[in-house]
A and B are shown apart, each in its own frame.
Chain A
Amino acid sequence: MDMWRNKRLTRPLWLLLLLCGAAGAAFADAQNANSQNAASPNTCVDCHSAMDAPLKVTAEQFAQDIHAQRGLGCVSCHGGDASKDDPDEAMGKAAGFRGKIKRTDIPALCGKCHSDAAYMRQHNPSLRTDQLSQYQTSVHGKLLAKGDTNVAVCVDCHGVHDLRPPKDPRSPVYPANVAATCAHCHADPNHMKAYKIPTDQFEKYKASAHYEALTVRGDLSAPNCATCHGNHGAAPPGVDTVQNVCSTCHVFQAQLFASSPHKAAFQAASMPGCITCHSNHKIVHTSDAMLGTGKGSVCMDCHSEGDAGYKAAAEMAQQLGQLTADAKNADELVTKAQDSGMEVSEARTELDQTRDSLTKARVTIHSLDVARVNQDVQAGLKTTAKAQQEGKAALAERDFRRKGLGLALIAILIMLVGLGMYIRQIEKS
């Protein structure tokens, strides 16, 4: 007991206790900051995993969530205290429980973290922080601001409680899944009734070359809805800016179109650039039949016999047709020689160059300049003629070899007969 009275001994003990208390408080703060990490209890999931949808959230489901993986928990969005077993305490006002988030509040709630560059840097420094401001400029955001709760908010596209990063193939915003996610609302006639916009975009898109590239070839850089319309700032591209959207990938075509007489003509007629000929959602593979004056030509949608466009279209189609036909003939010839065992790699290189010229000519068409198209076509015809010549030479060489073989075999046969006779003669004698 004397010890407690001895001030020289008790002072360090009090200091030690104080330090321990401070350390404990700091630890508790850190625990709160991380809300519910793996070690801390989550009474929300304990109850909600046993509930029916839409209140059901299982531990397995939540474990897949990117936020949960980064240490955030239910209380980060919904408030409350997940460490309390008593529902009244866990979801009490004192614990700051917010309950179900109103749809109109969701973008702002997500934006609270996602618009905070300093906070996001701690978790994902490469992630942009302008989603909320972009969303506010989108058709979705503008309508939501007017009180329309039918429009898409963050969770409609990204999911909720099992939210995955866009690189995860199971995420609804994974490039190959984006179109289906948009279609969830945009292909629903009941949902879209109030907005008076078509609901066939997804069906049309599924028939497009872009969809094929994305799903059949697995090219994740192929356009989905967000590529042309934007994601968080989603809005239809205006008539005047369609070519700007397409030109992000189709650079040369856009440059040639901008220098063509179509540019001014389309603007004057309030016609959207690229989609006038290629459509918008159902952008199918192009073919030479789209050019010219025949059936299936898009030129004839506006031009008619006798006008300058009709003549240019006919001329360009004729040039392309000639190059395509010549290239096909040359290819058949070279293939025939190749199948006969001839070495035709040089002719194959010429045909590759022809293919390049043909592709270039098909791009140059967007300039509507017959002379420029002709330049590419002539380059192609030149290499085609070379390939054809080499194919013919290879076939002539094949015939020469076969004739030579015939003569050699005759000579060998004569030798064999001669040897046979000689053997008979010496064995007789």
Chain B
Amino acid sequence: MLNVIRKWLDERFGWEELMAPLRHKKVPLHKFSAWYFLGGMTLFLFGIQVVTGILLLLYYRPSANEAFESVQYIMTRVQFGWLIRSIHSWSANLMIFFAFAHMFSVAFLRAYRKPRELTWVSGMLLLFLVLGFGFSGYLLPWNTLAFFATKVGTEITGQVPLIGRQTMVFLRGGEEVTGATLTRFFGFHVALLPGITTVLLLLHIALIQRFGMSAPPSVEAEWAAHPEKKREMSFFPNFMLRELMAWYIALGILGALAAIAPWELGAKADPFAAAPAGIKPEWYFLFMFQTLKLIPAKVGFIDGEILGVLLFGLAGLLWLLLPFFDRGDKRSARWTMGALVFVVAYVVAMTVYGHVAK
């Protein structure tokens, strides 16, 4: 049956020709090969986001008066609405985790080296977009935590010199977080960000397809010295089938999380209520939030929060341009590894500290 379909497609669209690059694509086999699954896993979770997001759109209403109630309706009245919403929320968090893990794995393997600089840049931009998805989607249930987290988050944006206030007003749709902010964030979440992401994602995948998978410099050197040691696996179907197994495991984990720990809805946002004590952002923004909390109110003549925002902006820019600092020599490798270890340790430590801090 499959052969009949394949033949039908081949006669009309040249299916075999289209699939040829996949068949010729090879995956290097070495001790770090497992890390190659991370990108695919992020892509799979993004797919889950798209599918569950579209299903949620059937019932969700993006207004301050109806948003909370519509999510409540999805959770209690819609058949399997709880499953869709919980999977959407859990997979969003897992997607961000895997996006970070993928980014760090690429950095540790130094897979961004020539000619893959643009693959890295597109990937980093995708990571920023994923964080944007997280920030905009968090407000959509219009619950107390989301409301105040958005208030704090947009306030921090307001600290950016020169364009901060204008950006904050643009994000909020006014001076305060209101129903206008919710509608605006909904627009970002379901139209603007997905549109940009689709374009960047296609570019990212096309670049990977164009340049193939990178082996770490040490492995490349060893293979160059001993070509007989070079080991590879066909991407299709061998690696793809293994990736499929990983996706099935992820699907099982998502199902278990949704059934055992459905994503909480909380209480409806009350703009006139006091902010809950010890309010914190989602875990993926915690390292930045905790850093801003630790910076003194004034550092010399500059406001502490402004300094923090500027430093994070600069760090993000430097990280985006990482491939252009790595000259491919041993000195660069040492510096990159040192910076990487520091960044990972800092992000993990600050996230844990932010989680336990009151």
Interface residues of B in 290-339 (CB under 8 A from A): none
Among B123-131, B189-197, B258-266, which stretch is in contact with chain A? Answer: B258-266
The answer to whether A401 touches B259 (Cβ under 8 A) is: yes
Q: Does B55 contact A (CB under 8 A)?
A: no
> Chain A 343-356, CB within 8 Å of chain B: the 1/0 string?
10110000000000
Among B12-20, B56-64, B169-177, B238-246, which stretch is in contact with chain A? Answer: B238-246
Return the chain A residue nearest B244 by Cβ: A419
Return the chain A residue nearest B251 by Cβ: A412
Q: Does A99 contact B (CB under 8 A)?
A: no
CB < 8 Å neighbour of A412 from B237, B241, B252, B265? B252
Interface residues of B in 198-251 (CB under 8 A from A): 237-238, 241-242, 244-245, 248-249, 251
With the chains together, A415 CA to B245 CA distance in Å? 8
The answer to whether A419 touches B252 (Cβ under 8 A) is: no
Q: Is the interface of B mostly helix, strand, loop or mixed?
A: helix
Q: Does B255 contact A (CB under 8 A)?
A: yes
Q: Does A426 contact B (CB under 8 A)?
A: yes
The answer to whether B262 touches A342 (Cβ under 8 A) is: yes
Once A343-B82, A423-B238, A423-B241 are accepted as A-B contacts, the answer to whether A402 and B248 lie under 8 Å apart by CB is no
Interface centre among A345, A408, A415, by most chain B C-beta atoms within 10 angstroms, is: A345
With the chains together, A419 CA to B248 CA distance in Å? 10
The answer to whether A412 touches B248 (Cβ under 8 A) is: yes
The answer to whether A404 touches B248 (Cβ under 8 A) is: no
The answer to whether A405 touches B264 (Cβ under 8 A) is: no
Residues of B within 8 A of A426 (CB): 237-238
Return the chain B residue nearest A422 by Cβ: B241
Residues of A within 8 A of B65 (CB): none
Q: Does A341 contact B (CB under 8 A)?
A: yes
Residues of B within 8 A of A404 (CB): 259
With the chains together, A422 CA to B242 CA distance in Å? 10
Q: Does B256 contact A (CB under 8 A)?
A: yes
The answer to whether A416 touches B248 (Cβ under 8 A) is: yes
Q: Does B76 contact A (CB under 8 A)?
A: yes
> Chain B 255-284, CB within 8 Å of chain A: the 1/0 string?
110011110110000000000000000000
The answer to whether B262 touches A409 (Cβ under 8 A) is: no
Interface centre among A401, A402, A420, A422, by most chain B C-beta atoms within 10 angstroms, is: A401
With the chains together, A213 CA to B248 CA distance in Å? 59
Q: Does A307 contact B (CB under 8 A)?
A: no
Residues of B within 8 A of A402 (CB): 259-260
Residues of A within 8 A of B251 (CB): 412
The answer to whether A423 touches B76 (Cβ under 8 A) is: no
With the chains together, A405 CA to B341 CA distance in Å? 39
Residues of B within 8 A of A401 (CB): 82-83, 259
Residues of A within 8 A of B178 (CB): none
Least distance between B26 CB and chain A CB atoms (Å):
15
Least distance between B40 CB and chain A CB atoms (Å):
15
CB < 8 Å neighbour of B264 from A341, A346, A416, A427? A341
Residues of B within 8 A of A427 (CB): 238
Interface centre among A341, A408, A416, A427, by most chain B C-beta atoms within 10 angstroms, is: A341
With the chains together, A423 CA to B261 CA distance in Å? 34
CB < 8 Å neighbour of A343 from B249, B259, B262? B262
Return the chain A residue nearest B68 by Cβ: A345
The answer to whether A409 touches B255 (Cβ under 8 A) is: yes
Residues of B within 8 A of A343 (CB): 72, 75-76, 82, 262, 265
With the chains together, A422 CA to B262 CA distance in Å? 34
Interface centre among A343, A409, A423, by most chain B C-beta atoms within 10 angstroms, is: A343
Interface residues of A in 300-347 (CB under 8 A from B): 341-343, 345-346
Return the chain A residue nearest B76 by Cβ: A343
The answer to whether A408 touches B252 (Cβ under 8 A) is: yes
With the chains together, A408 CA to B265 CA distance in Å? 25
With the chains together, A426 CA to B239 CA distance in Å? 12
With the chains together, A409 CA to B251 CA distance in Å? 9
With the chains together, A188 CA to B319 CA distance in Å? 77
> Chain B 3-15, CB within 8 Å of chain A: the 1/0 string?
0000000000000
Residues of A within 8 A of B83 (CB): 401
The answer to whether A341 touches B255 (Cβ under 8 A) is: no
With the chains together, A423 CA to B239 CA distance in Å? 9
Least distance between A310 CB and chain B CB atoms (Å):
46
> Chain A 409-421, CB within 8 Å of chain B: the 1/0 string?
1001101100110
With the chains together, A126 CA to B308 CA distance in Å? 52
The answer to whether A419 touches B245 (Cβ under 8 A) is: yes
Least distance between B341 CB and chain A CB atoms (Å):
35
With the chains together, A258 CA to B191 CA distance in Å? 66
Least distance between B91 CB and chain A CB atoms (Å):
15
Residues of B within 8 A of A419 (CB): 241, 244-245, 248
Residues of B within 8 A of A423 (CB): 238, 241-242
> Chain B 48-91, CB within 8 Å of chain A: the 1/0 string?
00000000000000000000000010011000001100000000
> Chain A 272-294, CB within 8 Å of chain B: the 1/0 string?
00000000000000000000000
With the chains together, A380 CA to B335 CA distance in Å? 71
CB < 8 Å neighbour of A341 from B238, B244, B245, B260? B260
The answer to whether B260 touches A420 (Cβ under 8 A) is: no
The answer to whether B241 touches A405 (Cβ under 8 A) is: no
CB < 8 Å neighbour of B255 from A345, A346, A408? A408
With the chains together, A404 CA to B76 CA distance in Å? 17
With the chains together, A426 CA to B245 CA distance in Å? 15
With the chains together, A404 CA to B261 CA distance in Å? 14
> Chain A 49-61, CB within 8 Å of chain B: the 1/0 string?
0000000000000
Residues of B within 8 A of A413 (CB): 252
The answer to whether B76 touches A405 (Cβ under 8 A) is: no
Once A346-B76, A426-B237, A427-B238 are accepted as A-B contacts, the answer to whether A420 and B245 lie under 8 Å apart by CB is yes
CB < 8 Å neighbour of B260 from A405, A408, A416, A422? A405
Return the chain B residue nearest A343 by Cβ: B75
Residues of B within 8 A of A408 (CB): 252, 255
Least distance between B266 CB and chain A CB atoms (Å):
10
Return the chain B residue nearest A342 by Cβ: B262
Residues of A within 8 A of B260 (CB): 341, 402, 405
Residues of A within 8 A of B252 (CB): 408-409, 412-413
Return the chain B residue nearest A402 by Cβ: B259
Question: Can you identify 8 A-B contacts, CB atoms within 8 angstroms?
Answer: A341-B264, A343-B82, A343-B262, A345-B265, A405-B259, A412-B252, A416-B248, A420-B245
Q: A404-B259, A412-B252, A416-B248 are in contact. List 14 more A-B contacts (CB 8 A).
A: A343-B72, A343-B76, A343-B82, A405-B259, A409-B255, A412-B248, A412-B249, A412-B255, A413-B252, A416-B249, A422-B241, A423-B238, A423-B242, A426-B237
Chain A residues at the B interface, C-beta cutoff of 8 Å: 341-343, 345-346, 401-402, 404-405, 408-409, 412-413, 415-416, 419-420, 422-423, 426-427
List 8 tightest A-B contacts by C-beta distance, closest first: A405-B259, A341-B262, A343-B75, A401-B259, A412-B252, A419-B245, A343-B76, A423-B241
